[in-house]
Amino acid sequence: MIRIGIVGDIGSGKSFVAYKFGYPVFNADQEVSKLYKFDKRCFKKLNKVLPKHILSFPITKKQIISAIIENNLNLKKIIKIIHPLIRIKMKNFLHKNKNKKIIVLDIPLLLENKINNKKDVIVFVESKKKEITKRLKKRKNFNMKLINKFRKIQLSLEYKKKKSQFIIRNNFSKTFLKKDINRVLETIL
């Protein structure tokens, strides 16, 4: 099984690119959302460490955002609870797809948390800053303060780019992407 890890800046379109490969995708952000919506044990753990913010189940993004913005330590507390649960979900995904030729890992902190293997094919998604900002502002819970806090816990874009075997320039055009994705797939297959 070939594992493709997608990395890049927040809002660069990593998920958009990941799904364009046409293979099973493990989307960590979607899995986190499911935990907030459906996992009562996750709620209890977060409620225990952040009782002032995580008040009701299902957990809303508003609760998470207010906790993170109030105090940098709160983000660390959330990560400490969420990341082990996401690793379990990823392990299940890998097991379920063990006979697939290729799988795609769309995990924002892939390199930071050393989730990648040495053999993984790392693809850096690059977008113009102007385009990223425009896309981020369209998000329902857009908050620049929050985005900057997330950027601070991430490795530099230069480092991620250097660790990547491929760079895909995402201008959010399907035809443009298809060429880059085909180039990646032809090289690794």
List, for residues 31-62, the tens digit of each pLDDT value: 999 999 999 999 999 999 999 999 999 999 99
Q: Token pair 């989307």 is at which residue? A: 27
With CA atoms as reference, report the closest residue to 81 among 59, 66, 100: 59
Is the pLDDT at 174 greater than 70? The verdict is no
Domain boundaries, given as residue ranges, for the chain: 1-24+100-189, 29-96
Close Cβ partners of 58 (under 8 Å, ≥ 6 residues apart): 36, 37, 38, 43
pTM for this structure? 0.90
Using alpha carbons, list the distances in angstroms from residue 49 to 31, 36, 40, 75.
21, 15, 15, 11
Q: Token pair 């690119």 is at which residue? A: 17
Bridge partner list, 169: 126
Q: In this structure, how many other beta carbons lie within 10 angstroms of the beta carbon of residue 107? A: 24
The reported pLDDT for the residue numbered 173 is: 67
Close Cβ partners of 138 (under 8 Å, ≥ 6 residues apart): none
Amino acid making up residue 67? A
Are 68 and 146 spatial neighbours (Cβ–Cβ below 8 Å)? yes
How would residue 143 be classed by pLDDT, with cut points 50, 70 and 90? confident
How would residue 117 be classed by pLDDT, with cut points 50, 70 and 90? confident
Torsion of CA 44, 46, 50, 51, to 10 degrees: -20
The reported pLDDT for the residue numbered 171 is: 79
Architecture of the domain spanning 1-24+100-189: 3-Layer(aba) Sandwich (3.40)
Are 29 and 15 spatial neighbours (Cβ–Cβ below 8 Å)? yes
DSSP letters for 93-131: HHHHTTT-SEEEEE-TTTTTTT-S-TTPEEEEEE--HHH
